[in-house]
Amino acid sequence: MTRMNQQNFRKKIDHLWNNLTSRVDQINRNDSNIIFRSEEILMEADLAIRQLKDILKQYKFSDWSEEIHFFKNTKPKFVAIYIFYSKVLAIETSKPYCDPQTLQSYYENERTNLLYFYQEQKEFISYYRRRSTYLDKKFFLRFKFDFKLKLSPEFYSYDEEFSTSYDHIVSQIIGNDLLDQYLSNKIDSGSITDDSIVHIKNLKWTAPKVALVELIFALHKTKCFNGGQSDLAEIFRWAENSLDINLGNYHKTISEIQLRKTNRTKFLSLLCQNLDQYLDNLDS
């Protein structure tokens, strides 16, 4: 089998990830309920993970640092989508038909269950969140499996070609962080004060939509949300919900920004210009 080069390897993975997040975003824009959306997203995520595995089979890492990056950063974000929507599906299909107060207690209990994972994995979670690297060779290189590690129930088939001791734990951290936010939103949805509602509804984005897309992409690439762990689609959904705006196909918009002849980041430049002018006025 002919091995692909590093550039093609990265290009294929970026393309696969962009396709997956675009599909997830598309599905979540549908009017169908969360159960049907989760089922559809799970099929998309499963397919993407299988394709990721096939891509890896055609590639040989140039060194151990590249392998670590794949299993610490690349693979987990794919698997995290599957984990998150699997748990959302399980929670939503099992929830009782009851009064709002009991339903809120149900979501609170599900959120409490997450604490067991965070407690059980607290040492590794601390290592991961601090972006430590001194144990990466043990945690994220293949064929060095730690048999003292307690595997999660769904990790029933260990593939030494496509797995390391801890990449699945990273996936669980990302997936559970998303689930924690999902459950928090469910719990808080009925307890927002009137004062905060007024303030939220009074905030409207009145600049061009393309300017907001440019800003969100810049914030995402600067890892301004959740330490860089948030999906681009997740950030856009948050912005659309918060600002009551539909940004449409933002991937197409950023492509159009890329094609600008001069000053491709003109909105960001305008922000800098206005802030500099304000600061200059304060100095004078």
**pTM (two decimals):** 0.66
Tell me the CB-side half-sphere exposure of residue 95, using CA atoms within 13 A.
Answer: 23
Would you state the torsion angle of the CA atoms of residues 157, 160, 166, 167, taken in this order, to the nearest 10 degrees? -90
- Kindly state the percentage of the chain with pLDDT values over 70: 88
**From CA 41, how far away is CA 175, in angstroms rounded?**
14
Mean pLDDT rounded to a whole number for the chain: 85
Mean pLDDT of 214-223: 89
> Which one-letter DSSP state was computed for residue 15?
H
Tell me the CB-side half-sphere exposure of residue 23, using CA atoms within 13 A.
Answer: 19
**From CA 162, how far away is CA 152, in angstroms rounded?**
16
In tens, the pLDDT along 111-151 reads: 999 999 999 999 999 999 999 999 999 999 987 655 555 55
Q: Is residue 100 very low, low, confident or very high in pLDDT (cuts 50, 70, 90)?
A: confident
Give pLDDT, residue 280: 81
**From CA 111, how far away is CA 109, in angstroms rounded?**
5
**From CA 154, how far away is CA 159, in angstroms rounded?**
13
Of residues 254 and 52, which shows the higher confidence score?
52
Q: Is residue 172 very low, low, confident or very high in pLDDT (cuts 50, 70, 90)?
A: very high
Q: Is residue 156 very low, low, confident or very high in pLDDT (cuts 50, 70, 90)?
A: very low
The closest alpha carbon to 164, from 84, 72, 48, belongs to 72
Tokens describing residue 157? 């088939």
Give pLDDT, residue 158: 56
Q: Is 268 helix (H, G, I), strand (E, B) or coil?
A: helix
Mean pLDDT of 72-96: 93
Q: Are 236 and 247 in contact (CB under 8 A)?
A: yes
Q: Is 158 helix (H, G, I), strand (E, B) or coil?
A: coil
Lowest-pLDDT range of 64-78, 185-199, 227-241, 261-275: 185-199
- What one-character-per-residue DSSP string does 46-112 give? HHHHHHHHHHHHT---SSHHHHHHIIIIIHHHHHHHHHHHHHHHHHHHH-----HHHHHHHHHHHHH
Give pLDDT, residue 1: 52
Q: Is pLDDT at 249 greater than 70 in this prediction? A: yes
Q: Is residue 223 very low, low, confident or very high in pLDDT (cuts 50, 70, 90)?
A: confident
Q: Is pLDDT at 200 greater than 50 in this prediction? A: no
Q: Is pLDDT at 67 greater than 80 in this prediction? A: yes
Whole-Å CA distances, 7 to 10, 15, 51, 62: 5, 12, 17, 12
Q: Is pLDDT at 268 greater than 70 in this prediction? A: yes
| Residues 32, 79, 44: CA angle, nearest 5 degrees | 40
Lowest-pLDDT range of 4-13, 119-128, 238-247, 261-270: 238-247
Q: Which amino acid is located at 220 in the chain?
A: H
Q: Is pLDDT at 162 greater than 70 in this prediction? A: yes
> Which one-letter DSSP state was computed for residue 3?
P
Give pLDDT, residue 242: 78
Query: In the chain, what are the helix, strand and coil shares in percent, each to the nearest 5?
Result: 70, 0, 30
